[in-house]
Amino acid sequence: MMTIAAVGYGLAALLFAVLALLLLTQWRGRPKGGYLLAATAVSAVWAGLNAYQIVDPVVPSPVLSAAEALRSFAWLLFLLVVLEPIAARSPGYRRALLGGRLLLVLLVAVVLLAPGGVDPLADATTQAAAGDLGLIAELLLAIAGMALVEQLLRNTPVERRWTIKFLCIGLGAVFVFDFYLYTDALLFRRVDREIWLARGVVNAMVVPLVAVAAARNPDWSMPLFVSRRAVLHTTAFFSAGVYMLLMALAGYYIKAYGGEWGAVLQTAFLFGAGVVLVAMLFSGQLRARVKVLINKHFFNYRYDYREEWLRLIEILTGRRSDQPLHERVIFAIGEIVESRGGLLWLCDEQGGCRLVAHFNHPEVTLPPQSASEPLAAFMEERRWVVNLEEYESNRPLYGSLTLPAWLAQVQDPWLIVPLMHNDRLRGFVVLMQSRAPQALNWENLDLLKTAGLQAASYLVLNQAAEALAEARQFEGFNRLSAFVMHDLKNLIAQLSLVATNAQRHKHNPEFVEDAIRTIENSVAKMNRLMAQLRTAIAPPNAEAVDLGGLLAGVVANHQRQQPAPRFDNGAGLVKVRADPDRLSAVLGHVIQNAQDATPPNGRIDVTLGHGDGQAIVTVRDTGAGMDEAFVRERLFRPFDSTKGLTGMGIGAYECREFVKSLGGWVEVESMPGRGTSFVIGLPLAAPAAHAV
């Protein structure tokens, strides 16, 4: 028993010290906060002394009596300060409180000056020798405490009593217990040890009530923060402990009075009690009821908005759940009011709304609805959360709203939450009944509407992402088509040149042979282009390519047009990994552009070099050139051409994108009237072998 008592007083000392520390760190100099801080600090010292006395009884009786009197005096003085606003309205009441202060000082002085003091652990003879004066003073302090608690509760307006009811309950319990303790002590001329030993546990239980009262009265000291999660877990832990204690007592009596089957019945009973406890701890309905009880009776507001917002964001972003977004929206909004599940409707740009998801609800097939239907129009206009229970009991509140017939197919419908975005109804969530019955007020409804706004933004963003992905697929196909048409244009130009010269050189065997090779090459390229169009992607055809030989062939193909390009291979055998056809087309386009921009008497030089693990291709002409702004802003912009109807404006863009896909780079140096240098860098596929 002594050990339990020491733990009780020690726990009271710890809790009072923690509360005092919280009050001290957040104290802003408010007078009431100072008195509350002093009362909790004195109580911590008082409880600590008593705990130490139980473990090692060396504390003198006068010291214990002084701590006892100062602890009662501190709480009574705090109550007098709290009652001051009432005294300010009544001169008589103010005089009564002043007399009360003088009486308290007198009673404390009596306790301090009483011979021998009050030592509950001393034997009956020693306590009787100390006299009754100290006990009478302590009893009068307890009576004064009960009277002040009653005055505080009586004179507080009804609408404000929720702010002080836990303080009155806690301090009232303390003073009632003291009254019982000292009444018994006066009757039997000694302090009952067992009653005194239980006093520490009683005072420890009072600390949370005082903390809640402090949180509800910021003018006392500060807006004390008590975590709802901590309160919930503490309540669950404490309740589980009380439950197991009761079950252990029941098991003891089963074993004691169960006869020869007592031990077996006790084991079975305790095992069953444990299973029931686990089931209760994992019960969503029980947890919801406890949360509603705690939020309703212990906090100013029903929600910890920081935790609610973080939870909402974590669910919507998929960090807490891997379900599809539509189901996460239902779950996130339903958790606010402990709903079991629901349905999600989304509205499109054409004004139609359709059922897209359900969560913890049987699958149902409901027809699409128009956004002009009464329910959708009502939510878009008023942005209300439709409470179906309130609708049934107070229909005039909802005006001419008529609920749709499909609600009859929804299981236990309760709330309809609008999902608004940019002043438009983007959808709505139909929630099922809550796990725990609860009355909704402005706080629940505002949080539901705010969560609906956030969920609507995620849904709109998701729709935009899906539309963007679809648009990118079309964009990729269109871009590929543009590249294919650009290559076809070049092939048509080659075939047109063959057709133009056929009448004049058709009897020349060399021309015929060259024309056949050109046509075969064009047919092969057109077949590859058709294959790309069918698959909508360019086939991966990368291989090690002799860049010098490929460049020589490209330059030879452009010898018919003036000025004819000249090729200088200064790197020898250089290989890069690329699709040879596409690389030939890209390099041919660069040379063709140089020829188009250079007069017939100009010059075009194509050189091949290497350095730092890269092959360097330079196409330099003496043509018209370009200014810096054109190179920076227009040269590589797709579908921006300076050739009028004969150009498509994607050649330079295709060149840069293709080279970048190979891990290379493109640089352009140009000046009006002085020509252009087009420099292409490509990573080497193998070390360069220098020509001898």
| CATH number of 368's domain | 3.30.450.40
Q: Indicate whether 209 belongs to any domain.
A: yes
For the segment 348-386, what is each residue's pLDDT rounded down to a tens digit? 877 788 899 999 888 888 888 776 788 888 888 888 899
With a cut of 60, say whether residue 228 has pLDDT above it.
no
Contact 193, 120 (CB under 8 A): yes
| CATH number of 202's domain | 1.20.1070
Could you tell me the pLDDT band of residue 647, with boundaries at 50, 70 and 90? very low
- 673 and 599, same domain (yes or no): yes
Q: What is the mean pLDDT of residues 428-448?
A: 84
Contact 416, 379 (CB under 8 A): yes
SS3 355: strand
Residue 650's pLDDT is what? 55
Q: Indicate whether 488 belongs to any domain.
A: no
- 548 and 592, same domain (yes or no): yes
Buried b (16+ CB within 10 A) or exposed e, 365-402: eeeebebeeebbebbbeeebbbbbeeeeeeeeebeebe
The residue segments making up the domain with residue 411 are 305-460
Q: The whole model's pTM is what?
A: 0.42
How far is residue 482's CA from residue 486's CA, in Å, rounded to a whole number? 6
Q: Indicate whether 621 belongs to any domain.
A: yes
For the segment 339-354, what is each residue's pLDDT rounded down to a tens digit? 889 999 898 877 788 8
Contact 228, 293 (CB under 8 A): no
- 267 and 379, same domain (yes or no): no
Q: Indicate whether 493 belongs to any domain.
A: no
Q: Indicate whether 679 belongs to any domain.
A: yes
- 267 and 208, same domain (yes or no): no
- 346 and 425, same domain (yes or no): yes
With a cut of 50, say whether residue 554 has pLDDT above it.
yes
Q: What is the mean pLDDT of residues 253-264?
A: 67
Please give the helix or strand (H or E) that residue 636 lies within, else none: none
With a cut of 90, say whether residue 431 has pLDDT above it.
yes
SS3 614: strand
For the segment 517-526, what is each residue's pLDDT rounded down to a tens digit? 777 777 776 7
- 575 and 624, same domain (yes or no): yes
Number of domains in the chain: 4
With a cut of 70, say whether residue 471 has pLDDT above it.
no
More confident residue, 591 or 471: 591
For the segment 386-410, what is each residue's pLDDT rounded down to a tens digit? 999 888 888 888 888 888 888 888 9
Q: Indicate whether 271 belongs to any domain.
A: yes
What backbone torsions phi and psi does residue 2 show, to the nearest 5 degrees? -65, -35
More confident residue, 207 or 282: 207
How far is residue 565's CA from residue 664's CA, in Å, rounded to a whole number? 24
More confident residue, 163 or 488: 163
- 218 and 244, same domain (yes or no): no
- 212 and 348, same domain (yes or no): no
| CATH number of 544's domain | 3.30.565.10
Residue 688's pLDDT is what? 46
Q: What is the mean pLDDT of residues 433-437?
A: 81
For the segment 181-207, what is each residue's pLDDT rounded down to a tens digit? 888 887 777 777 778 788 888 889 889
- 141 and 21, same domain (yes or no): yes
Query: How many CB atoms lie under 10 A from the CB of residue 446?
Result: 12
- 214 and 255, same domain (yes or no): no
Q: Indicate whether 517 belongs to any domain.
A: no
Residue 285's pLDDT is what? 59
Residue 413's pLDDT is what? 92
With a cut of 80, say whether residue 316 has pLDDT above it.
yes
Q: Indicate whether 499 belongs to any domain.
A: no
Out of 405, 425, 460, pick the residue that ends a domain.
Answer: 460
- What are the residue ranges of helices labelled H in 506-546? 509-535
SS3 670: strand
- 30 and 177, same domain (yes or no): yes
Burial class (CB in 10 A: 0-12, 13-18, 19+), 26: middle
Out of 442, 460, 478, pick the residue that ends a domain.
Answer: 460
Out of 425, 460, 495, pick the residue that ends a domain.
Answer: 460
- 436 and 549, same domain (yes or no): no
For the segment 72-125, what is each residue's pLDDT rounded down to a tens digit? 889 988 888 888 776 666 666 667 667 767 777 776 776 666 555 555 655 555
Residue with tokens 């047919």: 523
Could you tell me the pLDDT band of residue 229, with boundaries at 50, 70 and 90? low
Considering Cα of 114, then 116, then 119, then 124, what sign does the dihedral take? negative
- Looking from the CA of 207 toward its CB, the CA atoms found within 13 Å total 26
More confident residue, 93 or 12: 12
With a cut of 60, say whether residue 687 has pLDDT above it.
no
Could you tell me the pLDDT band of residue 648, with boundaries at 50, 70 and 90? very low
